[in-house]
Amino acid sequence: MTIVGILGAGQLGTMLADAIHALGAETRFYDPEASAPAIRRFVGGMSGPWTDLAHLRAFAAPCDVLTYEMEHIDTDGLRSLDIDVVPSLDVLETTQDRLREKRFLRSAGLPHVAFMEATSPADLVTRGREFGFPLIVKTARGGYDGKGQWRARNEDQLDLVAQQLEQDLGPRFACAMEAVVDLEREVSCIVARAHDRSVQVFPVFENAHEHHILDWTLVPARISPAVARRVQAIARTTAEALGVVGLLTTEFFLSRTPARGSESEPVDGIHVYVNELAPRPHNSGHVTRRATSLSQFDALARIVLGAPVPEPTLRGNGYYCMGNLLGDVFAGQTELDLGGLACHEELLEIMLYGKLEWAPRRKMGHVIANACDADRALAAMRAIRGSLTLTPERPSEPPPTQR
């Protein structure tokens, strides 16, 4: 039997493992965290730092191929292993560093929000003044779910960010500044690219974030067909330019006004900018478990195992809404009260991730609802989520601004 080694043992790895098992292969997990869900669930999991070469070698020995479910991996150790990693470590190293990622977008001629680099606190303040306010500062490394991001409205605020970053990063100081986008919508698009370079593009997802963390995903996205085609075409070109074999999720900003300093041709009055890339299953892609004929996990499993990937088509005519369950809904309890699940006919999936410890904004699970239109799918998701919390669900948010 083929054995696939998975780096990272969270919810994405767990659901990927289910898809790999369904194709008759086995999995082994490696994660720095010994209590990670897939380490605790599946046999043969190993825990250790990314820098422990002996451990990594023992982990990789029985595996035929490696893949990863997270980007915050030190690649030096992996480089020394004699085994295929899918997607490649080159791809991973580009996307795990915001500056490298932005430079790639620029060199590939892909539409993105104009940015400027800074390599020291003084540099940041001087160039920021030049760049103009308001602006967003993003560290090159270690950013996800809003970590490593600050918004500065003026020089005073930028000065504070520079001080903070000097403390946090010291000599590894490296960050990007970019203009604030007046957001119309955020969308993402997953591309599956196989070893033979054939490409399949998933439908476009509409995403809403709260406190920088994905709150819900809706598919199909509420955008015009021309905008959807543009988004899908850019996602496809990005995966090809990056040379990804595996999955690539591209996150986009859509805006009615051009971002300061950025070139872009609007389509149906909408400017489309690539925001960031993730060469792995994505939390916005959970919705594919129910919405499309093939899930993102199925697609990656097939690529890793060398099986062909058919076109992922949307199932039925309705809308699907995935809502994240953050630690907040657990409200300090160790188990969720499932009694509220009684009569939600729109509920297609509830998936709890088996994390041992809750934290306020930690992703603990998700639900997927299906309804005939977008409003009903969103309302159903909120009702289901509301029935699982002990505190009432907050009313729907105003239209998103820059996160």
314 binds a copy of itself (CB under 8 A): no
336 binds a copy of itself (CB under 8 A): yes
What is the C-alpha separation between 308 and 66, in angstroms, rounded?
A: 18
DSSP SS3 for 109 = coil
Sign, CA dihedral 341-347-352-358, equals: negative
What is the C-alpha separation between 273 and 186, in angstroms, rounded?
A: 10
What is the C-alpha separation between 215 and 284, in angstroms, rounded?
A: 9
Task: Give residues with Cβ within 8 angstroms of 376, minimum separation 6.
Answer: 319, 346
Q: Are strands 149-152 and 135-139 parallel, antiparallel or unpaired?
A: antiparallel
Q: Minimum CB separation from a copy of itself for residue 354, in Å?
A: 6
Q: Minimum CB separation from a copy of itself for residue 271, in Å?
A: 34
DSSP SS3 for 46 = strand
316 binds a copy of itself (CB under 8 A): yes
Binding flags for a copy of itself, 274-303, as an x/- string (CB under 8 A): -------------------x--------x-
350 binds a copy of itself (CB under 8 A): yes
Nearer to a copy of itself, 130 or 335 (CB): 335
> Looking at 98, 121, 365, 389, which residue binds a copy of itself (CB under 8 A)?
365
> Looking at 24, 170, 225, 398, which residue binds a copy of itself (CB under 8 A)?
24
Element (H, E) at 303: helix 296-304
311 binds a copy of itself (CB under 8 A): yes
Q: Which of 220, 202, 234, 231 is nearest to 310 (CA)?
A: 202
Nearer to a copy of itself, 54 or 342 (CB): 342
What is the C-alpha separation between 85 and 191, in angstroms, rounded?
A: 18
Q: Which of 58, 16, 13 is nearest to 31 (CA)?
A: 13
Inter-CA distances, 297 with 39, 193, 312, Å: 18, 13, 12
> Looking at 89, 180, 314, 347, which residue binds a copy of itself (CB under 8 A)?
347
Task: Give residues with Cβ within 8 angstroms of 277, minimum separation 6.
Answer: 94, 95, 101, 238, 242, 248, 249, 250, 251
Nearer to a copy of itself, 18 or 159 (CB): 18
What is the C-alpha separation between 380 and 365, in angstroms, rounded?
A: 17
What is the C-alpha separation between 338 and 387, in angstroms, rounded?
A: 9
- Cβ-contact 80, 27 below 8 angstroms: no
Nearer to a copy of itself, 195 or 256 (CB): 195
Task: Candidates 16-24, 174-182, 246-254, 278-286: pick the segment binding a copy of itself (CB under 8 A).
Answer: 16-24
- DSSP assignment of 185-239 equals EEEEEEEEE-TT--EEEPPPEEEEEETTEEEEEEES-SS-HHHHHHHHHHHHHHH
Nearer to a copy of itself, 164 or 198 (CB): 198
Q: Minimum CB separation from a copy of itself for residue 336, in Å?
A: 6
Q: Minimum CB separation from a copy of itself for residue 95, in Å?
A: 28
Task: Candidates 20-28, 90-98, 200-208, 234-242: pick the segment binding a copy of itself (CB under 8 A).
Answer: 20-28
341 binds a copy of itself (CB under 8 A): yes
Q: Which of 255, 252, 259 is nearest to 274 (CA)?
A: 252
Binding flags for a copy of itself, 46-85, as an x/- string (CB under 8 A): ----------------------------------------
> Looking at 5, 8, 16, 26, which residue binds a copy of itself (CB under 8 A)?
26
Task: Candidates 126-134, 138-146, 172-180, 309-317: pick the segment binding a copy of itself (CB under 8 A).
Answer: 309-317
348 binds a copy of itself (CB under 8 A): yes
> Looking at 34, 122, 338, 390, which residue binds a copy of itself (CB under 8 A)?
338
334 binds a copy of itself (CB under 8 A): yes
Sites of contact with a copy of itself (CB under 8 A):
1-2, 18, 21-24, 26, 40-43, 45, 293, 302, 305-308, 310-311, 313, 315-316, 334-336, 338-339, 341-345, 347-352, 354, 365
